[in-house]
Amino acid sequence: MIRYPNGKIATTCKPDTPQDSFKNRGLEFEDEINQTNAFYCQQNRAVIYKKPTPIKVVRVAYHTGEQPVITEAYFQQPSTTDYNGIYRGKYLDFEAKETRSKTSFPLKNLPTHQIQHLVQIMDQGGIGFLLVYFKLNQTVFLLDGRIVQQFFEQGKSSIPYTTFVEQGVEVMQGYLVRIPYLDAVDRFYFSSR
Amino acid sequence: MIRYPNGKIATTCKPDTPQDSFKNRGLEFEDEINQTNAFYCQQNRAVIYKKPTPIKVVRVAYHTGEQPVITEAYFQQPSTTDYNGIYRGKYLDFEAKETRSKTSFPLKNLPTHQIQHLVQIMDQGGIGFLLVYFKLNQTVFLLDGRIVQQFFEQGKSSIPYTTFVEQGVEVMQGYLVRIPYLDAVDRFYFSSR
């Protein structure tokens, strides 16, 4: 812990991606993961953040005494995965996706450069995985990046739901913690199975 | 390495933060670090990225067949440091700053929550540091996060240049690699000094 000169402890752990006000939607998978990460961070269990969406800023209006207003900008494709951080001393990196398919996860939902990034991370000794929310089945699974890599290299267009069930780890829904995926990380990467 | 079904190897490693076109400036410290990271990534030496600047999107215009245009948005304070990634199997996290002071680094340049974040990372077993470019001295130094933490906890307003010289590691300018800071990381964190 950090000791402040004035004795005050700052609360950090807030996500860099507040729910965008233009979207006007309910709580979604991404928000639940952000809440989960904030909880893990407050508990000092892990420090994991979602990276902000890259936005190319083209025009900014400056008015004296006011904060600058971006008046023209464009969403960009991120180069990496959405989430990364440190857990149990290890670098951890994952992408979270949701699908309405009941029987498989379509690989077209996962851009090639994100798979490439996960592979680079694993080659460097980090933990890399996919977290998939099957909306209609109401299940969430962790699937190790090496399995994703295999399906991709074999030119498959999707990963069957049964692969998630047999080779992944289900993330049980929590009360205090919405998506307690670190329990699945513990089981897959840290237990002597 | 990843093997593609069609034999093509994608080049990733590009930064998520292209030079913003509205800024109209020369190559700066941040861009040089981004280039360095892209080089390290291409060489498979490390996978380290700058996080995109968080931007709160308020209004988006959609026109059929065109990409959506953000017409109102605001820059936000990031919760964490600018750079993180994996190197030699370790989680690595740093903040890069430049100063025109010749004699010290003013701590007001470093928001409290960024120091708090670095401390959390170090407490979790990660590598955390500050990379400072002293513009007028034309030097770049790596300073371990624990030293930054000490100065902060003692209520100091700045860290003297001599501290960087005596307790930090100077990052020598490179030709192929602009800011070869991983050599400084090697010296400080991985050699048996």
Residue whose tokens read 């100065």: B151
A48: helix, strand or coil? strand
> Angle B20-B22-B26 (CA atoms, 0-180°, nearest 5)?
65
Query: Of A29, A13, A68, A44, which Cα lies nearest the Cα of A181?
Result: A29
Contacts 24+ apart (CB under 8 A), B173-177: B173/B140, B176/B39, B177/B36, B177/B39, B177/B40
pTM (two decimals): 0.89
* Radius of gyration, alpha carbons of chain A: 19
Q: How far apart are the C-alpha atoms of A2 and B117, rounded to whole Å? A: 10
Q: How far apart are the C-alpha atoms of B136 and B125, rounded to whole Å? A: 34
Q: Which of A10, A47, A70 sits opposite B124 (nearest CB)?
A: A47
Q: How many CB atoms lie within 10 A of CB B8?
A: 8
Q: What is the pLDDT of residues B137-169, one digit of tens each?
A: 999 999 999 999 999 999 999 999 999 999 999
Q: Return the C-alpha torsion angle B57, B63, B67, B70, nearest 10.
A: -20
Q: What is the pLDDT of residues B81-132, one digit of tens each?
A: 999 999 999 999 999 999 999 999 999 999 999 999 999 999 999 999 999 9
Contact criterion met (CB below 8 Å) for B140 and B181: yes
| CB-based burial label for B51 (10 Å; 0-12, 13-18, 19+) | buried
**CB atoms A153 and B125 under 8 Å:** no
**CB atoms A153 and B4 under 8 Å:** yes
Q: Choosing among B70, B115, B119, B149, which should be mutated to test the A contact, i.e. which has the most A CBs within 10 A?
A: B70
B193 DSSP assignment: -
Find chain A residues with C-beta within 8 A of B20's C-beta. 56-57
ipTM: 0.88
